[in-house]
Amino acid sequence: MAISTKNKVLKEVVWVLTILVGAALYSIGFDLFWKPAALNGGGVSGLSLIIFKATGFASVGIINFLINVPLFVAGRAKLGNRFFIGSCIGMLFSSVTLDLFDRIPVPQMDNIFLPIIYGGIICGLGVGLIVRSNATAGGSDILIRLIKMKRQNASVGTISLCIDTCVILLNAVVFKDIQTALYSGISVFIYSKVFDAVIYSFDFSRVALIISKHHGEIAEVIAEKMQRGVTLLEGEGYYTHEHTKVVMTALPNKQLPELKQLVTGVDPDAFIIIQDSHNILGEGFQKYSKTNL
């Protein structure tokens, strides 16, 4: 019981720390790369920057917070309490760090592509970590979640790119600066690709198909020694027309070496097909949620 409670507490601590690190990374990318180069990264932060530059009101962090409040109220009912709590942490910390890192003196960069590339990478990494933790830093991330619930086939990076492009175009119209808008578009494209990579590319699992005359023994060792679900599919050899069973199992990457060892231990001649798989839902993996990306 004590171990279980300790694990739950540790899990929650890691969850909060991931959100904080993600928010800090985004603020670093925004304040140290995008803002000094006059790049607009889109989203609510980009919109806040437009308002600040156009009006001089308060600060980017405060404007960011004020815009986020109604979005949080609108998103809470559909996205759940845990998402709301995590997003509050992300929004508050990002608003604080946006103002904090803005005070750091940044040396002049002669090469515009340095802030374009590094700003996109760092901001994409930061927001990706937050969103992977089932939270947001507020603003457009909440809109992305709500749109994703309606448009399941669209990736979050694509939705983000569309929203950010609208803000960048607004920036171009307000300040009559097409060149900066084009540079911003390149950086936001990089940002969206890193964003997608963080969310989807680190969610690798594997599906194994195993063809063997010893399919019963193989299924048994997988179920008993690896504690993995097994399905026996009907199969037929093309040339021999011999009927057989195909063993199918889903497993995390870390169990792949064990699977190969166990299967070849039963049948060294077993035919093993390993396929990459993403977002496996069900027992032993993640549970489905309406906020799943």
DSSP readout, 216-265? HHHHHHHHHHS----EEEEEE-TTT--EEEEEEEEEEGGGHHHHHHHHHH
pLDDT at 186 > cutoff 90: yes
* DSSP 3-state of 37: coil
Q: How far apart are CA 121 and CA 128, in angstroms?
A: 10
Contact of 131 with 156, CB cutoff 8 Å = yes
pLDDT at 157 over 80: no
Kind and range of the H or E element at 274? strand 271-278
Exposure string for 189-217, b = 16+ CB within 10 A, e = fewer:
bbbbebbbebbbeeeebbebebbbebbeb
Residue 72: beta bridge partners? none
Amino acid at 158: T
Query: In the chain, how long is the greatest CA-to-CA distance?
Result: 79
Give the tokens for residue 238.
């093309």
What are the structural domains, with CATH classification, of the chain? 2-201 (no CATH), 204-278 (3.30.70.120)
- Model's pTM, two decimal places? 0.70
Write the pLDDT tens digit of every residue in 48-66. 888 988 888 878 778 878 8
Mean predicted confidence (pLDDT) in 13-29: 93
Residue 156: which H helix or E strand, with range? Answer: helix 156-175
Query: What's the CA gap between 115 and 113, in Å, rounded?
Result: 6
Closest C-alpha to 247, from 237, 232, 260, 264: 232
pLDDT attached to residue 67 = 85
DSSP H or E segment with residue 88: helix 81-101
Q: What is the pLDDT of residues 28-39, one digit of tens each?
A: 998 999 988 888
Cα three-residue angle 12-17-18, rounded to 5 degrees: 100
